[in-house]
Structure 1
Amino acid sequence: MTIWTDLADASFKLHYVYADGIRTRVLEAGEGDPLLLLHGTGGHIEAYARNIKNLREHFRVICIDMVGHGYTDKPDRPYGIDFYSDHLLGVIRALGLRQVYLSGESLGGWVAGWFAAEHPEYVKAMVLNTPGNVNNKPEVMARLKESTVKAVVEASYENVKTRLEWLMYDKSQVTEELIEMRYKIYTQPSYQKAVYNIVYLQDIEARKLYSWNPSWCGKIKAPTLLVWTDHDPTSTVEEAQPIKDMIPGSELTVIEGAGHWPQWEKPEVFERILIDFFKKH
């Protein structure tokens, strides 16, 4: 299967909006309540290509390239969680949305959680998919920073492939098309500079400013589901419990046979979890 095959018979719109002056790439499909999907570090809209067709039957699906990522503008400044959150707010306002269902993967999950705490009036319910920074393991941070910078600054087929394979439990899920797409994104001159702002959060002093903490997690009012996997390279299922304890009334489910991208490796399972949880709320 290819990304185009997954989208070929789905009606969708790929366009740009200005979110507080930041030109932002947006893909929309379907009708109904808006469901906003956020990718992870170094990611882009296509991280959800396998999910759009089915999710659009239930929601107005909205995927974005977050600030500094994909084909969205890349301001020259460190990208902290507050900056990503501000950009998300700008996108929501630019699209004229009042409330959204929100789901983020890895960095996107971290941003979604922060956003829901700071702007609870915008979030109906939320699914945090293998969210980022559940711990501050130096070895995980160092590997993510090194592999991300190398994939961009020393962009090659093999380096991009290695970065993508790190996300997957089943390495065969890394398709030639996905590698080529990410290679083209990473070789943009603007991305060569932006990558150092993207990996800002892989430094411990920067992370301390945004670490999961009851002081802000306790402000989350939206019903929240944590989605973990049994082969996530960044954290174990056991490490989900502290986050669950911090977010009032949150729930936890585990997808088996997947790594850091369950939405890609186990799309049907992931989609059913989102549909069931959001329809419940």
Structure 2
Amino acid sequence: MTADAAGVTSSMWLELGAAPFRVEFPVIGGVRTRVLVAGSGPGLILLHGTGGHLEAYQKNVVPLSQHFTVIVPDMIGHGYTDRPDLDYTLDDYADHAFGLLDHYGFEQAFVSGESIGGCVAVWMALRSPRRVRALVLNTGILERPDAAGLKQLEDLEVRTQRLAEGLSLEAVRRRMEWLVYDPSIMTDEMIAVRRAIYSQPGMVADVQKIMHAVIEMNRGPYAGGDYIQKDRLPEVSCPTQVLWSDHNPGKPYARVKPAIELIPNVETHVIKNAAHWPQYEQPEHVNTLMIEFLLGVDGR
């Protein structure tokens, strides 16, 4: 944990403790899945990024749950969810997410994703337009990086590979600091949570496999299929909000802007002083933008 200027210790319980929530382990398509559920109203599923887990949204659950039934899973292969032997394609993730929506009784829902979660969200909207009421894409879109951006993504893969050399708190911190503009914002508590998750037997090897699959998707077509296809973006039929950042590694805003503009009904916001986790780095701004957008979807 870290302390702010007033000496107050930061903890996810300060973020989550202001509203009721529950953590469950339903079996979705044979996969035991950790899910945090909070609030009531229209369904809103939040999908984290590669190697992540539901705690990535610890600063967003309470505000969003005042308006929506917020469903935050550890995606298939991640966190404390089962890790079946799959290729971990966008179809694999989408199948699991649709299964979650079915389990919680939502024929249609809002879908938001960060990083690869954003790509999964788009893929869900392309596969089943009737089921996705609106999208919020948080540093994740179907656009490949340029050579410089690919090198930045490969740096994250290297940091992930080094976890096999020793799962120290410092090694975990080095990987997670890639996600944020200001490394000091990454709390000791979040590092400890990530280390505990990665300490599960076989977890580091599985995270390395998943990370490699994401890199291969971003390089181009691979054994699992061709998924990062910006030419599919004009097919997105639902209202879409894109939240990018001014320091996003791998895919800076200038790189993705032409792809964003292919989405027919889209609004875009560039979050200042943030890198790959704007929902964690600038939560008040992100929460406000998401709530205003999603509550106004019917008017769009």
CA separation of 1:118/1:249 partners in 2, compared to 1, >3 Å: closer, same or farther? same
SS in 2 for 1:218: helix
Give the superposition deviation at 1:87: 1.1
Q: Distance in 1 between matches of 2:105 and 2:41?
A: 14
Instruction: Name 1:79's counterpart in structure 2.
Output: 88
Give the superposition deviation at 1:15: 0.2
Give the superposition deviation at 1:12: 0.3
1:236 to 252, 266, 272: 252
After superposition, residues 80-95 of structure 1 pair within 5 angstroms as 80-95=89-104
Instruction: Name 1:210's counterpart in structure 2.
Output: 227
After superposition, residues 21-170 of structure 1 pair within 5 angstroms as 21-131=30-140, 134-136=143-145, 137=147, 138-151=150-163, 154-170=166-182
SS in 1 for 2:291: helix
1:224 to 237, 240, 248: 240
1:154-182 deviation digits (Å, cap 9, x = unpaired): 32111110111111001111100000000
Letter of the 1:181 counterpart: V
Give the superposition deviation at 1:43: 0.5
1:85-128 deviation digits (Å, cap 9, x = unpaired): 11111111122211111110001001101111001111111110
Query: Unaligned 5+ residue runs, structure 1?
Result: none
Q: Distance in 1 between matches of 2:228 and 2:273?
A: 28
Instruction: Name 1:183's counterpart in structure 2.
Output: 195
After superposition, residues 260-279 of structure 1 pair within 5 angstroms as 260-279=276-295
**What's the % identity of the aligned pairs?**
40
Give the superposition deviation at 1:133: 5.8
1:259 aligns with 2:275: yes
Q: Distance in 2 between matches of 1:53 and 1:248?
A: 31
Instruction: Name 1:201's counterpart in structure 2.
Output: 214
Q: Which range moves more in the overlay, 193-202 or 221-230? A: 193-202
Q: Which range moves more in the overlay, 62-71 or 196-205? A: 196-205
On the 8 A contact 1:26/1:63 being kept in 2, the answer is: yes
On the 8 A contact 1:67/1:87 being kept in 2, the answer is: yes
SS in 1 for 2:18: coil
Letter of the 2:113 counterpart: G
Give the superposition deviation at 1:183: 0.2
SS in 2 for 1:73: coil
Give the superposition deviation at 1:29: 0.7
SS in 2 for 1:246: coil
- Give the TM-score of the pair, scaled to structure 2: 0.89
Give the superposition deviation at 1:24: 0.9
On the 8 A contact 2:143/2:230 being kept in 1, the answer is: no
Letter of the 2:237 counterpart: K
Instruction: Name 2:186's counterpart in structure 1.
Output: 174
SS in 1 for 2:81: coil
Give the superposition deviation at 1:152: 5.3
- Quote the RMSD (CA, aligned, Å): 1.6
Q: Distance in 1 between matches of 2:142 and 2:178?
A: 16
CA separation of 1:222/1:133 partners in 2, compared to 1, >3 Å: closer, same or farther? closer
Runs of 4 or more consecutive aligned structure 1 residues displaced over 6 Å after TM superposition: none
CA separation of 1:3/1:105 partners in 2, compared to 1, >3 Å: closer, same or farther? same
Total equivalences in the alignment = 280
Letter of the 2:253 counterpart: V
Q: Which range moves more in the overlay, 7-16 or 141-150? A: 141-150
